[in-house]
């Protein structure tokens, strides 16, 4: 335990989570102090809950002791959203990694935040389905991290970002309350759109503990050859130059 961590909080969360779920040793703290942004800060402790009730208890305890919380997925983000710049407790969702349900007929899947994007895609293949978001770290990034940062990837051009491929969420608020918004349906036009408000909020509004994801048929995926069609390298280069000229950008820019 560090000097900055209240003894009462340490005792409460140690009893709740056990030695595997409550880590105050320096090795665990250092391992959870950075992401792919290359920024780094040392948390006072690491909490690794196994279910949503433990997440609620962690939030309530930290709130009572006025200790900051930083949510963490797989640590592949490049925005430093998982870096505990103010210290406090890092809440890792690594143990909440279950695919709760795959509903091919409803074109949706229900998952916990610690499920890896690549893991989900593999589970969907036998059903002829896929989840559209494909960030560069797709094989090792978590669904919770994708949701928190509204991840995209090349397929976002056609299918939208993570926000466009989520139907519903279950989350824990800053007061430790469990809320449910949206669900396994496509029409949800009334009331506040809390689902899409939470996506991209980087854990500042609530901690996501379950997500219902919108799935698509694999037949909609196009290979590189299909995307290029009958165009050769010269035609593709000419198209890039034409687009750059229209946008007033030098060829090779990211646009």
Q: What is the DSSP letter of 253?
A: -
pTM for this prediction: 0.83
Written as six digits, the tokens of 254 are 């990211």
Per-residue pLDDT reduced to its tens digit, 97-112: 999 999 999 999 999 9
Boundary-marking domain end, from 92, 114, 138: 92
Top-confidence residue, 160 or 246? 160
pLDDT at 163 over 70: yes
Q: Is residue 228, in this structure, part of any structural domain at all?
A: no
Helix (H, G, I), strand (E, B) or coil at 107: coil
pLDDT at 254 over 80: no
Q: What is the DSSP letter of 249?
A: -
Boundary-marking domain end, from 92, 107, 140: 92
Statement to judge: residues 113 and 50 lie in one domain: no
pLDDT at 154 over 70: yes
pLDDT at 255 over 50: no
Alpha-carbon distance values, 75 to 36, 40, 46, 47 (Å):
7, 11, 14, 15
Closest residue by Cα to residue 198 from 209, 210, 207, 185: 207
Lowest mean pLDDT among 45-54, 133-142, 238-247: 238-247
Q: Is residue 255, in this structure, part of any structural domain at all?
A: no
Question: Residue 172 belongs to a domain with what CATH number?
Answer: 3.30.465.10
Q: What is the DSSP letter of 28?
A: H
User: For the residues 241-250, what does the mean pLDDT come to?
Assistant: 71
What is the domain count for the chain?
Answer: 2
Q: Is residue 236, in this structure, part of any structural domain at all?
A: no
């Amino acid at each position: 335990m560090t000097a900055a961590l209240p003894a009462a909080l340490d005792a409460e969360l140690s009893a709740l989570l056990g030695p595997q779920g409550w880590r105050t040793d320096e090795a665990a703290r250092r391992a959870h102090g950075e992401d792919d942004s290359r920024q780094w800060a040392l948390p006072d402790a690491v909490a690794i809950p196994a279910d949503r009730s433990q997440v609620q208890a962690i939030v309530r305890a930290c709130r009572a002791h006025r200790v900051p919380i930083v949510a963490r997925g797989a640590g592949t983000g490049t925005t430093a959203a998982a870096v505990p710049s103010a210290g406090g407790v890092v809440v890792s969702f690594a143990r909440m990694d279950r695919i709760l349900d795959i509903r091919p007929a409803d074109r949706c899947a229900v998952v916990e935040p610690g499920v890896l994007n690549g893991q989900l895609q593999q589970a969907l293949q036998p059903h002829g389905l896929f989840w559209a978001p494909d960030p560069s770290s797709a094989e090792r990034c978590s669904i919770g991290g994708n949701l928190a940062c509204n991840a995209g990837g090349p397929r976002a051009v056609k299918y939208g970002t993570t926000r466009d491929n989520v139907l519903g969420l279950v989350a824990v608020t800053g007061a430790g309350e469990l809320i449910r918004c949206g669900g396994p349906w496509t029409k949800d036009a009334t009331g506040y759109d809390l689902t899409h408000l939470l996506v991209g909020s980087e854990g500042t509004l609530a901690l996501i503990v379950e997500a219902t994801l919108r799935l698509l048929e694999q037949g909609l995926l196009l290979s590189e050859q299909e995307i290029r069609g009958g165009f050769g390298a010269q035609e593709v280069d000419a198209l890039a130059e034409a687009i750059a000229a229209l946008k007033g950008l030098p060829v090779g820019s990211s646009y």
